[in-house]
Amino acid sequence: MQIQPLYNNIYMQPNYQLSQPTIQMPTGQRNYVIVDKQKVDYFVKQKEEALPQLSNILAHSNNEAEITENLYILDRLIDNGTKGVDKMYPVLSRFNNTNSPNIQTFLAGIYRKTQIPDAFGPLVAMLFRNSVNPPQANFDPNEEVGGAILAYISDRFRNNP
Digit-by-digit pLDDT tens for the chain (161 residues) are 344 445 444 334 444 344 434 688 888 888 888 888 888 998 999 999 999 999 999 999 999 999 999 999 999 999 999 999 999 999 999 999 999 999 999 999 999 999 999 999 999 999 999 999 988 888 889 999 999 999 999 866 666 55
Does residue 148 sit within a domain?
A: yes
Residue 139's pLDDT is what? 86
Length, in residues, of the chain: 161
Residues whose CB is less than 8 angstroms from the CB of residue 18 and which lie 6 or more positions away in sequence, other chains included: 6, 36, 38, 39, 42
Residue 36's pLDDT is what? 84
Does residue 10 sit within a domain?
A: no
Residue 24's pLDDT is what? 86
Does residue 9 sit within a domain?
A: no
The secondary structure of residue 137, as a DSSP letter, is S
CA dihedral 7, 12, 16, 18 (to 10 degrees): 30
Residue 3's pLDDT is what? 45
Q: Residue 112 sits in which domain range?
A: 16-159
Residue 157's pLDDT is what? 63
In this prediction the pTM is 0.83
Does residue 6 sit within a domain?
A: no
Does residue 7 sit within a domain?
A: no
d(CA 155, CA 135): 28
Does residue 119 sit within a domain?
A: yes
Backbone angles phi, psi at 7, to 5 degrees: -120, 140
Does residue 62 sit within a domain?
A: yes
Does residue 90 sit within a domain?
A: yes
Structural domain count, the chain: 1
d(CA 51, CA 87): 10
Residue 131 to residues 23, 101, 106, 140, Cα–Cα distance (Å): 28, 13, 18, 11
Residue 137's pLDDT is what? 84
Residue 8's pLDDT is what? 46
